[in-house]
Chain A
């Protein structure tokens, strides 16, 4: 079947960033980041089972500068994916589609995730 040559939709770069589209793509990006985090979690469990020495190696890796940056990134990714995921569950139940609720929910997920990340790491550093 040959596709008729119709005008195509403008590419995504052309659109203005909005809270709805931003949270949508950020949900996907944080999900992929957390999937990578699963590998790190697995590595951590294996290092724990391996004994004191392997656990020390893993701990050193996570406590290093790169490890900390990545852990802070995962904290944000998890917080956002959790909050926005709950938002999506509300959508799935048919609620929260009105403009006001939709936008408010998006901002709560985004700012809430930033606040949670900040809170967790300030608390860890206290």
Chain B
């Protein structure tokens, strides 16, 4: 029994060869996020307080700024992969789906970009 659809058979199309790419990227980013999120939350909770001076001094340290940029980048990528599937699953109308997927990408680039730019401002700022 062939698992290929009748349409793909009649068109003579083979596999797109990237069937597991999205799935795999989701796992790799998930594994990377385990240490990154735990580092971020535990070090924040370990600070004596969450006041402006304390947090800013903490984030201004090169190692913290670097890890925070990595955290935001991987987190944004992982969230983008996950919520893309949610929209693909639940938004049936083709037009609405395309617009929703496009807006979602814009939103992630905006949120991730703004956060990374802010971290760099703290790292390299006055």
Residues of B within 8 A of A124 (CB): 45
B118 contacts A49, C-beta separation under 8 Å: yes
**CB 8 Å contact bits of B92-126 with A (1 = contact, 0 = none):** 00000000000000011001101101110110010
The answer, among B27, B50, B68, B83, for a CB contact under 8 Å with A32, is B83
Residue of A nearest to B120 (CB): A49
Residues of A within 8 A of B119 (CB): 45, 49
* CB contact list, A79-97 vs B, under 8 A: 82, 85-86, 89, 92
Within 8 Å of chain B (Cβ to Cβ): is A42? yes
B79 contacts A42, C-beta separation under 8 Å: no
Within 8 Å of chain A (Cβ to Cβ): is B62? no
Within 8 Å of chain B (Cβ to Cβ): is A46? yes
Within 8 Å of chain B (Cβ to Cβ): is A41? yes
Instruction: Report the interface size for chain A: residues with CB under 8 A from the other chain.
Output: 28
- Min CB distance A108 to B, Å, is 16
A42 contacts B111, C-beta separation under 8 Å: yes
Residues of A within 8 A of B7 (CB): 1
Q: How far is the CA of A39 from the CA of B121 in the complex (A)?
A: 18
- Min CB distance B89 to A, Å, is 9
A86 contacts B118, C-beta separation under 8 Å: no
The answer, among B37, B86, B115, for a CB contact under 8 Å with A42, is B115
B76 contacts A38, C-beta separation under 8 Å: yes
B111 contacts A89, C-beta separation under 8 Å: no
Residues of A within 8 A of B31 (CB): 89
Within 8 Å of chain B (Cβ to Cβ): is A28? yes
Residue of A nearest to B5 (CB): A1
A56 contacts B72, C-beta separation under 8 Å: no
Within 8 Å of chain A (Cβ to Cβ): is B56? yes
What are 23 sample pairs from A and B whose C-beta atoms fall under 8 A apart?
A: A1-B6, A1-B7, A31-B79, A31-B83, A32-B82, A35-B83, A38-B108, A39-B107, A41-B115, A42-B72, A42-B111, A42-B115, A45-B68, A48-B118, A49-B119, A50-B118, A55-B56, A59-B50, A78-B41, A86-B34, A89-B30, A89-B31, A92-B27
Which 5 pairs from chain A and chain B are nearest by CB? A49-B118, A42-B115, A35-B79, A45-B118, A49-B121
Beyond the given A45-B114, A49-B121, please list 5 additional residue pairs across the A-B interface where CB-CB is below 8 A: A31-B82, A34-B79, A48-B118, A49-B122, A123-B45
